[in-house]
Amino acid sequence: MDTLDTKELWRQILLRLYPTVRHDHFITWFADTAVLRIDGGMLVLGVPTQFAYSWLAQHYRERIIEIAKVLKPEVEDISIVVDAALSNKDDVRKVLLTSIVPDVKKVRKLPNKQEVKVVGSDTVSYMFNPKYTLSNFIVGKHNRLVHAACQAVAANPGSQWNPLFIYGGVGLGKTHLLQGIGREILKNFPDKIVVYFSSERFLNEVVDAIKKFNAHDFKARYRNVDCLIIDDIQLLADKDRTQEEFFHLFNELYNANKQIILSSDRPPKELAGIETRLQSRFEMGMVAETHFPDYETRLAILQNKCSEQQVMLPPEVLDFIAYNIHHSIRELEGVLMQAVAQMRLENVTPTVKSVGAIIRKLDRGSKDLVGVTKEQMDAKLSIRNAEDVINLVADYYRIPSSELRGTLRKREIMLPRQVCMYLIYEVLGHSYDTIGDYFSGRNHTTVLHSYNKVKSKLAKDSKLLQDIHALKKDMGL
């Protein structure tokens, strides 16, 4: 790749920019541009007018540098210069754009600047956040599978595991993994075109394309993409037209062995409002879940964050945070960062007490915090997986765990079974599907039903509330 001449380099850059920029904007802003030369590490980009200069500098500069660096490692920066001679030079435009834009006829007329109306930001949220890489994702027992799947896809996109579908609760690392894979693919295969979309952005793209052009153009726009990543696909629920377009795009990319990577807050089958034909396509490749990590991994994430931030916190404070945050890594990081901010601003070392106050504030005081005592630690560490929860509940209600998992529909077993499913969902954050597997392969709707039943009963049944409290206490929560 680094032997590209300037013309080919610019073409390659535009090829990667095109899927991320609105079609009409692309033609407006990039038709008469050219890489003039590369001077030392400086890529000199020529644009025809002052107006184009401002626009490109403001909106695309970073993105162009990012792509250029991948294609030609010696590039360090770009300088944009106005060169009126480029204006409407047919040959530049044709050569450049015919191989990029699907419908060449659309290149014929450039709107003048008064006609260009721009609403909102133009580029897709395409730039990968350098914070998120596969190598700084901390791997523990709970997320080994999903991480391995991401690595396999990054090493070999478009082959074995397609699509890769990652699901899990809020703040459990889905966006981190998706961006990590995208970045890794670009590193391993600089000539591949990788596009990352948030679902909102994808929706806007489709709506835009439908308004301005037609469905054919929408698909054609992505024909060069080698890897399409869409985050939070559950947000496409009930967006029928977008789903329709996505369905066709999916098939086209899939049939061409292009990699598709999706994330969602729940597994394909539980995606209400998403067409079943899409759900079943999502299941064709690899489906992997991000679980809430165990205590050791939470601690490792905190330690890693501290070393990234170059701060040192007392070990018991890190322990305390790891123990008391049970829902998301985002929350875990949030508490840590507040403790760090406190330390920097007030120049005091955070303590278990001061961090406890931070957690209470975030949680509006509703949380029972667990101090770090040996007994609590032991109790907590004894609950590592669904099996531990099942055994605990079986003990508590004095029934054999095999009956709890079994299919017998007796009242004295059904309630404990529902409690058990409820706790696994609440404490370990497993999906309904996964939980169903622990209980003789029940399907997710049964588990969902049990969960809702316990939840609604809790409001009026004080005995049940007491049971749940006692069980949670046994778990060290």
For Mg ion, the binding residues (CB under 5 A) are 174-175
Looking at 12-20, 105-113, 325-333, 458-466, which segment touches ligand ADP (CB under 6 A)?
325-333
Task: Extract the tokens encoding 455.
Answer: 């939840």
Residue 389: CB atoms within 10 Å: 26
Contact 29, 103 (CB under 8 A): no
Instruction: Establish if 137 lies at the interface with ligand ADP (CB under 6 A).
Output: yes
Give how far Cα 20 sits from Cα of 15, 93, 176, 224, 408, Å: 10, 19, 20, 12, 55
Question: What is the Cα–Cα distance from 243 to 256, expressed in whole angstroms?
Answer: 20
- Paired residues of 197 in beta bridges: 230
Which of the listed partners (Mg ion, ligand ADP, none) does 268 bind, with a CB threshold of 5 to 8 Å by partner kind? none
For ligand ADP, give the closer residue by CB, 51 or 295.
Answer: 295
Query: Which x/- pattern over 354-373 shows residues binding ligand ADP (rule: CB under 6 A)?
Result: --------------------
What are 62-70's contacts with CB under 8 Å, separation 24+? 62/127, 63/17, 63/20, 63/123, 63/126, 63/127, 64/13, 64/17, 66/127, 67/13, 67/16, 67/17, 68/9, 68/13, 68/43, 70/186, 70/187, 70/190
For Mg ion, give the closer residue by CB, 205 or 231.
Answer: 231
Residue 144: CB atoms within 10 Å: 10
CB of 221 to ligand ADP, least distance (A): 26
Amino acid at 14: L
Instruction: Establish if 253 lies at the interface with ligand ADP (CB under 6 A).
Output: no
CB of 344 to ligand ADP, least distance (A): 19
For ligand ADP, give the closer residue by CB, 49 or 234.
Answer: 234
Element (H, E) at 299: helix 295-309
Burial class of residue 39 (count of CB atoms within 10 Å of its CB; 0-12, 13-18, 19+): exposed
Q: Site for ligand ADP (CB under 6 A): how many residues?
A: 16
Contacting residues for 274 by C-beta, under 8 A, at least 6 apart: 233, 234, 236, 237, 243, 268
Amino acid at 52: A
CB of 132 to ligand ADP, least distance (A): 6
Query: Which x/- pattern over 30-59 shows residues binding ligand ADP (rule: CB under 6 A)?
Result: ------------------------------
Which of the listed partners (Mg ion, ligand ADP, none) does 333 bind, with a CB threshold of 5 to 8 Å by partner kind? ligand ADP
CB of 213 to Mg ion, least distance (A): 30
Contact 333, 365 (CB under 8 A): no
For Mg ion, give the closer residue by CB, 235 or 404.
Answer: 235
Contact 165, 153 (CB under 8 A): no
Which of the listed partners (ligand ADP, Mg ion, none) does 14 bind, with a CB threshold of 5 to 8 Å by partner kind? none
CB of 134 to Mg ion, least distance (A): 16
Instruction: Establish if 298 lies at the interface with ligand ADP (CB under 6 A).
Output: no
Instruction: Establish if 175 lies at the interface with ligand ADP (CB under 6 A).
Output: yes
For ligand ADP, give the closer residue by CB, 89 or 330.
Answer: 330
User: Which residue of the chain is nearest ligand ADP when measured via CB?
Assistant: 173
Which of the listed partners (Mg ion, ligand ADP, none) does 397 bind, with a CB threshold of 5 to 8 Å by partner kind? none
Residues that bind ligand ADP (CB under 6 A): 132, 137-138, 143, 168, 170-176, 301, 329-330, 333
